[in-house]
Amino acid sequence: MDPRTGKPRERVAAEATAEEVDRAVRAAHGSREALADRAVRAAFLRAAAGLLEEARDRVIETADAETALGTTRLSGELARTTAQLRSFADVVDEGSFLDVRIDLPDPGAVPPRPDLRRWKVPLGVVAVYAAGNFPLAFSVPGGDTASALAAGCPVVVKAHPGHPATSALCASLLRRAAAGAGLPEDVVVLVHGFDAGVALIRHPLVAAAGFTGSVRGGRALFDAAAARPVPIPFHGELGSLNPVVITPAAAEERAKEIGAGLAGSTTLGAGQFCTKPGLVLAPRGEVGDRFLDALAEGVAATGPAVMLDHRIRDAYVAGVAERAALAGVAAPVVPGARDGHAVGAGVLTVDAARLTGDGHRLLLEECFGPVTVVARYTDREEAAAVLGLLPGNLTATLHTTGTDGDPDPDAAPLLAALVPLAGRVLVNGWPTGVAVAAAQHHGGPYPATTSTATSVGATAIERWLRPVTYQSTPGHLLPPELRDGNPLGLPRR
Amino acid sequence: MDPRTGKPRERVAAEATAEEVDRAVRAAHGSREALADRAVRAAFLRAAAGLLEEARDRVIETADAETALGTTRLSGELARTTAQLRSFADVVDEGSFLDVRIDLPDPGAVPPRPDLRRWKVPLGVVAVYAAGNFPLAFSVPGGDTASALAAGCPVVVKAHPGHPATSALCASLLRRAAAGAGLPEDVVVLVHGFDAGVALIRHPLVAAAGFTGSVRGGRALFDAAAARPVPIPFHGELGSLNPVVITPAAAEERAKEIGAGLAGSTTLGAGQFCTKPGLVLAPRGEVGDRFLDALAEGVAATGPAVMLDHRIRDAYVAGVAERAALAGVAAPVVPGARDGHAVGAGVLTVDAARLTGDGHRLLLEECFGPVTVVARYTDREEAAAVLGLLPGNLTATLHTTGTDGDPDPDAAPLLAALVPLAGRVLVNGWPTGVAVAAAQHHGGPYPATTSTATSVGATAIERWLRPVTYQSTPGHLLPPELRDGNPLGLPRR
């Protein structure tokens, strides 16, 4: 379906049958020994980045036609994707992800300690469920795939139905890079179709899964993963409200700047980011009004945007209408349907006191798209009471002011209330834009993620590994990584 | 119930009602802020070890009366338990478990990188389900409790019904140690009863669980943890066959030594260890016969033993009878009921070829107690075929010989077949006896454990933590652990 016209496009792929899923998983499983060589893995990831760059114009054109995300955003996303592939190649080379720990024997310990040498080995075939809102960076060549391959796990990707042609193109590039690096092409296999995704999570040879998507879909797959005769780890990123708290002192100091910044973060990419700020606690009174005016001005100035597909558009239009209809909810900028297949961004406001009642819980659920809800609070206690009602989040943001010598009195207590809610807390910034870095954490309490792991950054590789300890094993039977003298020069403890 | 006489003993504790479980969890939850101070946590763990040692005679006497494990074994277990508490205090002091990672800003990265500082924070209240076979080391004052407290998580322990008095005594000592260290006593709360255990796993304020026990009980709790509105991590150790493979060259070299060693490992503590070797692949022919003779001699020389309780005893007697009745199974030493409430250890043998058929799958399941099954194989391929049928294990053991210059030709391929089956592989040793060490891994593919984590050793603390990244946060709002200049002198990356 063309998101800009709503017209059906040519059919690019068939949905995989259960037999085809079985063949895909077995093919991937058969390739796992070849991935054991870390140098080959790293070369493969770099080659994949290179081929994606070579095919850049075609990749972006294909993705734009399927997602309407635009060439600027998609160029950035491709650069992020190739940088991510290369960063995981660096992680493979550096080797600390193997978490090598060696305990030499100690017969005097209680109980006596033999020679113990631990490292981490790949889990096996990883099922990756691609996201709709990032056709590259969280899809076929994205972080789940890159981190699983870096760990030494073959990948079967379940394509997102929103961009099947982009998925097929990227899979073919990854498979070509694998062949070029001397690996079987089947280290990456692509399947399409809803039923294929269900068959995949149940397949006995699938050892773990990564998912980015909705709470409903992710929870169904999580449940299926847990219900298997042999349960498997399911690392799902499901949904996040991404609360923002603005202290009175921050609003006093820079109401306009915060309002403009929030408008940009909320409407970026038509609000189709998992880290879009969806609930903002802003002070009542004049400083809060100034902030709200700047926010409304910024959002109103945003042109209509085409969302990823008609289903997401319809959900957004219905979601904002349902929220706007709640008692006491105002809409300084009315979100909803616009001409053609576009939608308009918007701002909703409500008294914070309403949120602690039962009737307004909907405002504490994510609404995917370019809208944010501003809740006006009277004092820190009221703000903290609202925060206490929130589910888990990927991010939580505090806007404050002050310094060590002259601190904002609300900053420390509100930050302390935000940390339990999220995997990443930001001060005086915006949550959209997730850096790929060693210290990144993109995850958070449920439903933000279904595990304590991150899907972005170097430690995302930890999801696809399990420890194995060798006890009293002669050197010639140990992996070189664990031998005396550290022949591979790895970081070891 | 007195395991040595089968007579009921005085009632020591009431089963907790749902309301009492709720109060227990809320009390523990209310104590979590006090655990934030790492120095206090470490002092508390050391004080707990000290109080257990002071109460040593009473603890051992109480545990022996309830479990019949004997004072020698229980003295060793108490020493292991106190050493474990102290080792987790050392882990807390050392601080690398916080996994601090700092990325300084890099505006030129794709996407641009802000200041990112990551560490790990405690998950919240941990539910610990105590084991029956280790009334100390895997029970109230055991590894799950110690590692959770070390992580900063309050603990609600569900006592094992086999040793309620020992549980109550140990809980009171831990609570006394907490008070002595300036912590609320409720950092450790004890509840009794099956229904209490179910209520505990469903409680909204329980954030994670640790379990050591049976496949049936563990799977039921795992399923309940996964089915919650907010699923929580469930780290369960459920069951393990602990395969052993003896190569022809090893049997040729030291058949008697291996047989005697295996007899000791199988019958140790009446075979009531999760790492008891339950399936042994031994070569056919004369060298294998010599090994089997030595094994049978050693097992036959073992006196009758009292198991933990009558339920476990009945399950053992029924389990060995069912296995011995299978076609082609012989019993060089017949296991089963003995006079009084004791059981006898035994050895069963079978052709490896039988195991690949459908009728003998029972021999590939754990039989808790002092029995092992020896499967005789013809060649390496047949041994590997049997290994290919096994579920996940805590341990897998290879007995081999040779050196780097003169290797056993079977060693490397058989070790390669064992690694995928287990979390710890041993060469020329015995799996019973699990050292508490940084490089230990006590866990393995399902059903050995329900996660990729270990329940023994320094990294067991990782189960109770989640990462949080601070983005662009001014120094005065950062935890000291993440500030510039590393004021606490922590290991950081």
| CATH number for the segment(s) B243-427 | 3.40.309.10
Confidence of residue B94 (pLDDT cuts 50, 70, 90): very high
Q: How many angstroms separate the CA atoms of A132 and A162, rounded?
A: 6
Three-state DSSP class for B476?
Answer: helix
A-chain residues within 8 Å CB-CB of B211? none
CA distance A343 to chain B (A): 27
Q: Which of A116, A226, A446 sits opposite B435 (nearest CB)?
A: A116
Average of per-residue pLDDT across A442-461? 96
Residue-averaged pLDDT of chain A = 96
pLDDT at A153 (0 to 100): 98
pLDDT digits over B345-356, tens only? Answer: 999 999 999 998
Contact across the interface for A111 and B415, Cβ inside 8 Å: no
Confidence of residue B359 (pLDDT cuts 50, 70, 90): confident
Q: Which of B403, B426, B471 sits opposite A471 (nearest CB)?
A: B426
pLDDT at B209 (0 to 100): 98
A-chain residues within 8 Å CB-CB of B111? 76, 80, 433-436
B425 closest CA partner among A477, A273, A468, A181: A468
Q: How many angstroms separate the CA atoms of B72 and A149, rounded?
A: 50
pLDDT at A340 (0 to 100): 85
Is the pLDDT score of A316 beyond 80?
yes
Residue-averaged pLDDT of chain B = 96
Q: Is B274 an active-site residue?
A: yes
pLDDT at B218 (0 to 100): 97
DSSP B75-104: HHHHHHHHHHHHHHHHHHHH-GGG-BEEE-
Is the pLDDT score of B111 beyond 80?
no
Cβ–Cβ pairs < 8 A, chains A and B: 217
pLDDT digits over A284-310, tens only? Answer: 999 999 999 999 999 999 999 999 999
Length of chain A (residues): 493
Q: How many angstroms separate the CA atoms of A347 and A370, rounded?
A: 9
A-chain residues within 8 Å CB-CB of B443? 466-467
Q: How many angstroms separate the CA atoms of A447 and A422, rounded?
A: 10
B213 closest CA partner among B197, B190, B226, B191: B197
Is the pLDDT score of A393 beyond 90?
yes
Is the pLDDT score of B8 beyond 90?
no
CA distance A168 to chain B (A): 25
Q: How many angstroms separate the CA atoms of B78 and B61, rounded?
A: 12
CA distance B277 to chain A (A): 15
Percent of chain B exceeding pLDDT 70 equals: 100
Higher pLDDT, A358 or B220: B220
Average of per-residue pLDDT across B336-344? 93
pLDDT at A109 (0 to 100): 82
A31 closest CA partner among A155, A207, A168, A199: A155
pLDDT digits over A338-388, tens only? Answer: 998 899 999 999 999 999 887 899 999 999 999 999 999 999 999 999 999
Confidence of residue B316 (pLDDT cuts 50, 70, 90): very high
Average of per-residue pLDDT across B270-280? 97
Confidence of residue B6 (pLDDT cuts 50, 70, 90): confident
Is the pLDDT score of B35 beyond 80?
yes
Q: Reading across the β-sheet that carries A206-212, which strands appear in turn?
A: A188-191, A155-158, A125-129, A206-212, A234-237
Two tokens, residue A220: 């169904």
pLDDT at B289 (0 to 100): 98
Nearest residue of B to residue A412 by CA position? Answer: B477
Q: How many angstroms separate the CA atoms of A218 and A214, rounded?
A: 6
pLDDT digits over A237-267, tens only? Answer: 999 999 999 999 999 999 999 999 999 999 9
State the catalytic residue, choosing from A274, A366, A367, A382. Answer: A274
pLDDT digits over A398-450, tens only? Answer: 999 999 999 999 999 999 999 999 999 999 999 998 999 999 999 999 999 99
Q: How many angstroms separate the CA atoms of A348 and A266, rounded?
A: 12
Average of per-residue pLDDT across B422-449? 96
Is the pLDDT score of A110 beyond 80?
no
pLDDT digits over B239-267, tens only? Answer: 999 999 999 999 999 999 999 999 999 99
Q: Is A274 an active-site residue?
A: yes
Domain boundaries, chain A: 18-238+449-482, 243-427
Nearest residue of A to residue B466 by CA position? Answer: A452
pLDDT at B68 (0 to 100): 95
Average of per-residue pLDDT across A43-69? 97
C-alpha angle A176-A177-A179 in degrees, rounded to nearest 5: 65
Contact across the interface for B454 and A467, Cβ inside 8 Å: yes
Tokens 């033999």 sit on residue: A114
pLDDT at B173 (0 to 100): 98
A-chain residues within 8 Å CB-CB of B119? none
Phi-psi region of A290 (alpha: psi -120 to 50; beta: other; left: phi over 0): alpha
pLDDT at A112 (0 to 100): 82
Q: How many angstroms separate the CA atoms of B176 and A174, rounded?
A: 60
Q: Which of A120, A275, A452, A469 to mutate to test the interface with B (most CBs of B within 10 A)?
A: A469
pLDDT at B358 (0 to 100): 78
Confidence of residue A7 (pLDDT cuts 50, 70, 90): confident
Average of per-residue pLDDT across B170-193? 98
Contact across the interface for A116 and B446, Cβ inside 8 Å: no
Q: How many angstroms separate the CA atoms of B310 and B2, rounded?
A: 9
pLDDT at B445 (0 to 100): 98
B-chain residues within 8 Å CB-CB of A109? 83, 435-437
Average of per-residue pLDDT across A179-191? 98
pLDDT at A147 (0 to 100): 98
**CA separation, residue A205 to residues A21, A337, B201, B396, B485 (Å):** 11, 45, 29, 21, 48
pLDDT at B108 (0 to 100): 85
Percent of chain B exceeding pLDDT 90 equals: 95
pLDDT at B182 (0 to 100): 98
Q: Which helix (H) or strand (E) holds A155?
A: strand A155-158
pLDDT digits over B132-167, tens only? Answer: 999 999 999 999 999 999 999 999 999 999 999 999
Q: Could you tell me the fold of the domain covering A18-238+449-482? A: Aldehyde Dehydrogenase; Chain A, domain 1 (3.40.605)
